[in-house]
Every structure is written in C-alpha cells, then in structure tokens.
Structure 1
Amino acid sequence: MSSHLQAHAAELAHGFSLCELAEGLGHLDMDGADDVLIMGICDDSRHAKPGYAMLCLPRAEGRASEFAESARELGATAIISVGIPVDTQLPSLHLDSMGQAGTLLRRMFKTEQAGAHLYGITGTDGKTSVTWMLREALSRYQQQPVWSTGTLGLMRSSDDIRDIGNTTPSLLTMHAMLAEACREHVHSVVSEISSHGIAQSRIAGLDFRTAIWTSMGHDHLQDHGGYGPYLAIKAGFVCDCGSHGGNVIANADHADIRERAPASSRWYGHGLSRDDVDMGWEQELPGMLRLRSRGEEVVIEDIPLGDFHAENVACVALILMVSQDIGLQELPELLSGITAPPGRMQDVLAGYGQVFIDYAHTPEALERCLRAARKLARNRLIVAFGCGGERDREKRPQMGEIAVEFADAVWITSDNPRGELPAVIASEIEFGMQKPYRAEVHLQLDRDKAIGEAVAALAEGDILVIAGKGHEAYMEVCGRRMPWSDAEAAEKYLRRKNSGTGLVSEGEDICA
C-alpha cells in the first residue's frame, strides 16, 4: 500500500500559547501574543487553517510576506519566521536559525525526550541499501516494526510505504514523522540523510544517536559548489553526531572518510587480516559473506548478489554490534537471507539471472555494479545506461570511460534528461570513451528501444545490467514525469526473447 506523507501541515496534540513556544528561543512581536493559541503548524500557506502558525523558512526569502498574508486569509493566527524578515499583521515569532526551529518543533510535538533510536545514514552511494537492510535486521532483532525514511519513502512496514517527496524530506515532515513514531511506540527509526537535507537543515533539532557514512564519490556537485563543499557537508553531519556522544560508523576504504570522520568512529573495511578496522569483510563466493571482528569470524549466507551488497551487509553488522550491543556470533541468524531494496542489482526475472537493473548513477556506483556483474558473467557483460540532465556534468565522461573499461558491449541511452537534449548528454558520455573503443558501443536514445536491443543481443552466458534508474517509476523530460519502469521494459523484452517473438529495430551504431 502506498500513500502520501508530506507534512505541509500538522495538528498538535494540544494547543500552545505563542509566548509558551517562544520562551528562550527568539524575538516575539506584537501585543496580544499571550492570547494566541497555536493548534497546528504549516510550512505551506495553502495548508493554513484557523489556529495554525505559518512557518516561514529561509528558502521563502523574498516571498515570505506574501505567503504570510495568504496564510492569514485562510485563518492562520501567527507567523514563525526563521532568519528572514516578514511583514505581517499577525503576532510573529522571529527565530535566528534552523536549529532554533528544530528545537521549537520538538517542543510543539512533545518529542524532546523521544525514546526512538534515530539512525542517520549518509554517503554518495549505499544509503538506500543500508537503510533497507538495517530496518529489516532491526525488525528481526526487536520483533516489532522499525520505520525508515529515504529514497523509497517512509516505510512503516513492507506493505505500508508513503511518499515523502525527497530522500530527506522537509523539516516539518521529519518532525511530524518522529512524533507519529513516538505515538506508535516505535523504538528505532532509520533515515537516509542526503547532502541537500544537511545543507538545508531539514534535520535540525533531531537527535541522531547513530550516524553512518557509507561512501564518498561524485554526485550533486553542481548544487554544492564542488567536491570540497560536498565532502564538508557529509563530514559535518557525522562529526556533529559524534560530538554529541552518538555512535559513528564509517567506511575505512574511502580515504576522504578516513580523514574527515571523527576519531571516535567505528570502522568497517574490506579484508580479514587488517588491524585498522572494527569489522573486516571478505566475499569468497557470490551470496556469501565472511566477517571478522576482534579475532572472531562468522559466515553470513544468502545475502544479495554483488560485492557492494556484501559491503552493505558488513556495515549493517557493525551498526548492530555498536548500537544494539549484539555479539558477532548472533549476526548470522539476523542477517542470513537479508534482502536488497528494489532496483539494487535486482534480477528482472527472479532466478533467471541474466538481466539486472541497478540504481547506479555515479561513476563509483557504476564501477562497483559492473565489477560485481562481471563475476556473474560466463561470457560477455553488457550495460545500458545514461546520465541525468541538469545534474553533475563532470561524471558523464567518467561513466563513459568506466562503461567501456568493464563491459564488453555498451548501450548509451536517455536517463531523466529533464531540460537538456539527450543527444548532448550522450555526446558527453561518449567523450570519456577513448578510441579505439575497448567495447562494442551503441547509441539508442529511446530507452525502451535500447533495452530491447540489449536484451536481443544477449547470448548464453551473457549478463546485462541496466543502470541508472533502478526503482524509479518515471522518466523526467522537460519538467514532466512520465511513467517508466526499467524492470517492466526488461521483463517485456526478456519474455519476448524467450518466446521467440520479435523485439525492436536496431539503434544507431557508433562504434569506431
């Protein structure tokens, strides 16, 4: 079941006077504020109601007064602004920082002493998989529901998933979610923490007791001013958690994480004989993982395919040991048979094992995905992928270079071109493919046809990876999101191939 949960407005369990909310936080304007009772809060003026306070955040600068007036016309009784001026006739509370706004929301939702253990997972790649696996493992261990938020939405259970709009949703949504979790007596909440969520303070006031840093690579650099600021944003989140006494779990195999994570971090890394990590891991066979900690070893069986998933499971293992005081010998029972989220090295026809879809949309993720797939291929490795429009352009030639280095055949196609021309994006991908190509390269900008052609090219022992979109159910073109599924397209063409029916016309071959 899927429903929507973006808390542009939330009712409170009981009312607060504006003065009560303002105590010790900010500057209160206008006489009569003592008599103002706040019964709810909204961060979108269209959701204002009588008795509600309108929360004006910094991103509303320039239009905050307009939004405040719209909220007043719908019955709002107060304005709460954060770091921006608001011209309003309503009683108003002016806060200097998002930190104060977070404290205010904890006060309003009565979650100052929230019992839920908040886990925050950041990193360029691996966030969604670690979040999924940790939720599943904690549910097994605690024998009760564990909630998670992230790319896939708010998961209260495997059949109760709610859309939250962004990987890390708005400040109000995060606090409303925590309040709901507290009412439901949920003991653990696992959240993906994106760079945008950190930079825009969408997690202000939330007390993360465990922070996890999974990886560091290239993504969203255009939004943060380059790699350095992007790295600093991630480091700031985990260091803040560590400085307040929280646990920090970090990946020792990334030099930048090694340098920037706090000294108190607990480390996991590839290799069983190393003495610089708290948890070492090795994968001797697909679907099996060996873990070593403090001289002891265990084997975890029946895990998702791919070295990167072995690393994700090792991360989850260390999180469980550190945050829940679980012994190494208890881990096989908790982690054997653990699953991966949709679109992460997902076998399109379960058990068929020839076509996989994966969300890999960064150079690092694509390389890891193709390395894993190479181990499964008895013959050729084929990849179909593209790059998103209006996103980090630096990664396009890098991903092209990786594709021809690790695959035997490559289909360059479209992937959420947004407002850019797909042909331009494809040419920038191709720019990284040094000639003569080390692989067979095709251009087919129609993603459906590209998948059909790649499936048609499959021979016995070949593996096809369709990368970039994973679980996404849309293709974004010129501001519109149109329905799309890599898995459905691949399954359609696989079934046609297996039944001997026709596939699609061939695309433009750009081999040298």
Structure 2
Amino acid sequence: MRVLKDILYKVEIDAVVGNTSVTINKLQFDSRKVELNDAFVAIRGSISDGHEYIAQAIDKGALAIICEELPKEIVNGVTYIKVGNAQQALAFMAANYYDNPSEKLKLVGVTGTNGKTTIATLLYNLFTKAGFKVGLLSTVKVMVAENAFDAVRTTPDSITINDYLKQMNDEGVEFCFMEVSSHGIDQHRTTGLEFAGGIFTNLSHDHLDYHKSFAEYRDVKKRFFDELPASAFALTNIDDKNGQVMLQNTKAQKYTYALKSYADYKAQILENSFTGLLLKVNDQELWTRLIGSFNAYNILAIYATAELLGLENLESLKIISELNSVSGRFQYIISKEEKITAIVDYAHTPDALKNVLETINSIRTKNEELITVVGCGGDRDTTKRPKMGHIASALSTKVIFTSDNPRTEDPDKIIEDVEAGVEPQNFKKIVSVTNRKQAIKTACQIAGENDIILIAGKGHETYQEVNGERSDFDDLKIVTEFLNELNK
C-alpha cells in the first residue's frame, strides 16, 4: 500500500483530476488484473491501447488512472493523472512503489546484440562463487540469490523488475546483473533504475522489425549509456565500430575492452579448441572452458566488470577458469561411437551465426563435415533471413533449413526467405526440412564419424511456437536422443 502522491515522484504530470492523497493497493497496466483500490496505467501498445480499458479498470475497482489522454467521462471518487508518456510514468511509479530497490544494491546492465545472456549469467555465477548474494535478470531465468524464477522476456516490465529487485533487497543481495534489451530501453522499462554500471557487447543486424533503421536501433542502445549516472561505469567493446558511440555522451566513468585494439582491458587468444580457450588477459594467463573468440570477448567483459566492482583480479581469474558455458550457448555433446559433435547455440542473428560457424571452422581439421541446422523466427525481422541463409551455406559443408518458432507465419514461406540468400555455388549444399525434429534427425543420420552438427537459433528455449501455440521442444535433448539411437 502506498500513497498515490508519493509514488508519483519524478513523474512529469500534465494535469490532475481528483485527490492524490488516496492510498493505492497495487500498480497495474493490464486491466484484467486490476483489483480494488489499484492504480491503472493506460499504456499505448503496438497491439492494444490501454486507454480503451480505463472504464473496465474502474469497474474492477481502480482508484487511480494514469493516462496520456483523459477519458470523456470522469467518474467521481477516481483520481486521474494525465502524463506525456505513460510508459515512463509507470517506470518511475514502479520504482517508487517498491521503495527504489535498485539503489540498495549494485545493479549492472548488459546491452548489445549478442552476448548479453552469457555475460550476465557468468557474472552471476562468478560473484556467487566469490561468496556474495547475487541477483540475475536474464533471457534464460531470473535468480533472487538462490531462488530461481522463469523468465518471460529479456527485459521484464518495470513493475516486474522492481518487484524482483525488492525481493533481492529482502534477501540481502549485493549485486544484480541484468540484460537490457533495446525494446526495454525504448519502452522505458529501465527508467527510474539506479545502475552502478553498464556493459556494451556489440551491435549487429537485429530487431529491425521493431526499430525502423539500424541507426535507430544503435541510438536506443546508446540512450542507456547516456542515462547512466556519473557514479557508474560504462564498459564498452572498442573493437566494435559502435563501441565508442556508446560512450559519447555518458556521464559515467569510461572503460574499454578489446582483442584487436588498444583498450583498458586487453586479451589475446593463445589456444582455441573444443575443450576451451587459453587467453592472456592483461598479462595474466587464463584457461576457460568457454570456446571461441566471441567468448573471449565475453570473458574479458566479465573480468573487467569484476575488477570495476572491487573483486580481486587473481580471485576472479581463478573462478572464471571454473565457469561452464551458459544454457544454449555453444553447448555440445559428443556421441560415444561415431564421435559426432553436436553443438546447440542460440545464434539467431546473422552476426551470431557467423561467429559460431567461424569458431567451429577455426577449430575443426576440415576432414569432417560441418552440418548446420538453422531457421528463422516468424513475425520478426524478415530482412535478416536471406543473410542467415547466405552465412549458413557459405560457412558450412551441408545445411538443413528448417523451422525455428514460426509463430503465426507459414514456416515454408520463412524457409523460402532464408533460401533466397544462398549463392548459386552453394545450392548443392542445402536441403529444406520444415519439421525441426525431423531436420535434427536428418542431420544425425547423414553425419559420419567425427562430423560436427550445429543446431542454431533456439539455444536454451525448451518450446517451439507454431500458430501461436507452444509445445515442448528442446534442441539439446532431441539431438542427444537421436545420437544415442545411432549408437545402439
């Protein structure tokens, strides 16, 4: 329970109708969840407009309405707050409602196209192993110290974020690592949070179904760093051409990391194999179980962040060497008889797929086949589909195009879009199998001794969404079962 005027702190208010001294039960932006004495925030979304449900919210007992446009009918006893941006208002209100929990721990946000989940999760594991109580807000799961919760989206809504952060406060959590998506930034889900630091990983083609251009996508990411306080740190991958852009207007203390450029935190790959990486990190050698140059960047970001948060370097290096890969990120198994290596990775963007395939090609002997199973999600950015097809067919010896999460789209049409990127000299490499399970089975059947299978796109996901319905589907589990059958 909170007094309405108290939770309106920092909200830019255009008009007030009614009494702001009323006591509010909960905040809601979904009218279906409204209960007696709740405050309902009317959000304009891409699918529906919360303003259309104001009357419904009042009927269910809403005591206050926060909206961008006052309704024609004003109900006595209900307080109306007119604001310029309801999403921003909701974020400030949520932070105030939960007593600004981000200020009571060190919150670090990780943003970029690829690597967010790996960096945030490994930082959670690193600091947990170092003896701290730690929180995690990620695509894969939410952790409140040792308590795990299912994740619904990369960056939750602002009420959910602050609710979890308050639970972390109650559990004595000292550090929280959070994935920050471009959608989350653009929709003000992270507004009102006090960040102790921000990490930029890289920027490549993604989410152009939502953002109108790559420049807009970049500038939304940049806005996260623009809003960091002077007390925070801003850590950026300077090898990425957009890395310096992120630091242009930030008030935070600036730090850089790189494999190829001069930087505050520098790494060199000494060895790269399917068993791990040997790195030289700021003149200290480090062995890690993670694989590939993209993970060298992730490890460097983790090492730098640990130092910036006060962890002793030798301790963090020791713990980093013990960390395992994150669920669905370059997870692999090797069959007992044929020694077929199956790799499952979340690579669902052109750059991520290219990184994974180049990593495999840099390690393999070239005497074996590299069979890639890949598709693209439906109802998402269509412009990346031919790029995915081009990269998969150019960097693999055989490719099976299949379904990812078609959602409401025709999966065969999605595959046609992917195939459009294949160059003529690579036509003979490709085959299309719409059913993803059958595609994985086909890859296992055509694989020979020591061959490598990459199953890309879904990674940690344990479902497949077809025609709006989700069914159980786990790439790693399915390929393991098929490889075990071959060994019988």
Q: TM-score, normalising length from structure 2?
A: 0.90
Write the distance in 2 (CA, Å) between the matches of 1:407 and 1:168. Answer: 33
Aligned to 2:289: 303
5 Å-filtered alignment, 1:307-456, equals 307-322=293-308, 324-348=309-333, 354-378=341-365, 379-437=368-426, 440-456=429-445
Change (3 A) 1:376 1:494: farther
**4+ residue segments displaced more than 6 Å:** 350-353
Write the distance in 1 (CA, Å) between the matches of 2:48 and 2:422. Answer: 45
2:107 to 107, 118, 123: 118
Q: Which amino acid aligns with 2:118?
A: S
**Deviation of residue 123 (structure 1)?**
0.7
2:234 to 248, 256, 259: 248
Asked if the contact 2:333–2:342 (Cα under 8 Å) also holds between the matched residues in 1, the reply is yes
Change (3 A) 1:225 1:418: same
Residue 498 (1) aligns with residue 487 (2): yes
Asked if the contact 2:138–2:154 (Cα under 8 Å) also holds between the matched residues in 1, the reply is yes
CA offset digits 1:317-352 (Å, max 9, x no partner): 111112x23343333212111122211111145996
Residue 153 (1) aligns with residue 141 (2): yes
Aligned to 2:132: 144
Change (3 A) 1:64 1:399: closer
Write the distance in 2 (CA, Å) between the matches of 1:439 and 1:61. Answer: 42
Secondary structure at the aligned position of 1:222 is classed as: coil
Asked if the contact 2:88–2:189 (Cα under 8 Å) also holds between the matched residues in 1, the reply is no
**Deviation of residue 70 (structure 1)?**
2.0
Write the distance in 1 (CA, Å) between the matches of 2:9 and 2:182. Answer: 32
Write the distance in 2 (CA, Å) between the matches of 1:349 and 1:461. Answer: 9
- Higher mean Cα deviation, 160-169 or 401-410? 160-169
Q: Which amino acid aligns with 1:278?
A: Y
Change (3 A) 1:479 1:461: same
Write the distance in 2 (CA, Å) between the matches of 1:31 and 1:443. Answer: 62
**Deviation of residue 218 (structure 1)?**
0.6
Aligned to 2:55: 69
Aligned to 1:182: 169
**Deviation of residue 359 (structure 1)?**
0.5
Write the distance in 2 (CA, Å) between the matches of 1:33 and 1:240. Answer: 29
Asked if the contact 2:126–2:316 (Cα under 8 Å) also holds between the matched residues in 1, the reply is no
Count of residues in Structure 1 that have an aligned counterpart in Structure 2 = 474
Change (3 A) 1:132 1:42: same
Write the distance in 2 (CA, Å) between the matches of 1:113 and 1:358. Answer: 32
Write the distance in 1 (CA, Å) between the matches of 2:92 and 2:179. Answer: 21
**Deviation of residue 62 (structure 1)?**
7.5
Two-structure CA RMSD over aligned residues (Å): 2.4
Q: Which amino acid aligns with 2:64?
A: A
Write the distance in 2 (CA, Å) between the matches of 1:239 and 1:227. Answer: 18
**Deviation of residue 300 (structure 1)?**
2.0
Secondary structure at the aligned position of 2:103 is classed as: coil
5+ residue gaps in structure 1? 1-14, 500-512
Residue 472 (1) aligns with residue 458 (2): no
5 Å-filtered alignment, 1:215-234, equals 215-234=202-221
Write the distance in 2 (CA, Å) between the matches of 1:19 and 1:233. Answer: 30
5+ residue gaps in structure 2? none
Change (3 A) 1:105 1:260: closer
CA offset digits 1:108-144 (Å, max 9, x no partner): 2212672211111111111111111111111122x13
Aligned to 1:105: 94
Aligned to 1:79: 65
Asked if the contact 1:370–1:407 (Cα under 8 Å) also holds between the matched residues in 2, the reply is yes
Write the distance in 2 (CA, Å) between the matches of 1:469 and 1:371. Answer: 19
1:93 to 71, 81, 103: 81
Q: Which amino acid aligns with 2:58?
A: R
1:292 to 260, 263, 281: 281
Q: Which amino acid aligns with 2:23?
A: L
**Deviation of residue 392 (structure 1)?**
1.6
Q: Which amino acid aligns with 2:138?
A: G
Percent of aligned pairs with the same amino acid: 27
- Higher mean Cα deviation, 169-178 or 125-134? 169-178
Asked if the contact 2:145–2:168 (Cα under 8 Å) also holds between the matched residues in 1, the reply is no
Change (3 A) 1:192 1:439: farther
Change (3 A) 1:112 1:244: farther
Aligned to 2:187: 200
Residue 130 (1) aligns with residue 115 (2): no
CA offset digits 1:125-174 (Å, max 9, x no partner): 11111111111111122x1331111211312356x432242111111111
- Higher mean Cα deviation, 245-254 or 70-79? 70-79
Change (3 A) 1:70 1:254: same
Aligned to 2:243: 257
Q: TM-score, normalising length from structure 1?
A: 0.86
Change (3 A) 1:306 1:103: same
Change (3 A) 1:373 1:39: same
Asked if the contact 1:43–1:172 (Cα under 8 Å) also holds between the matched residues in 2, the reply is no
Asked if the contact 1:383–1:467 (Cα under 8 Å) also holds between the matched residues in 2, the reply is yes
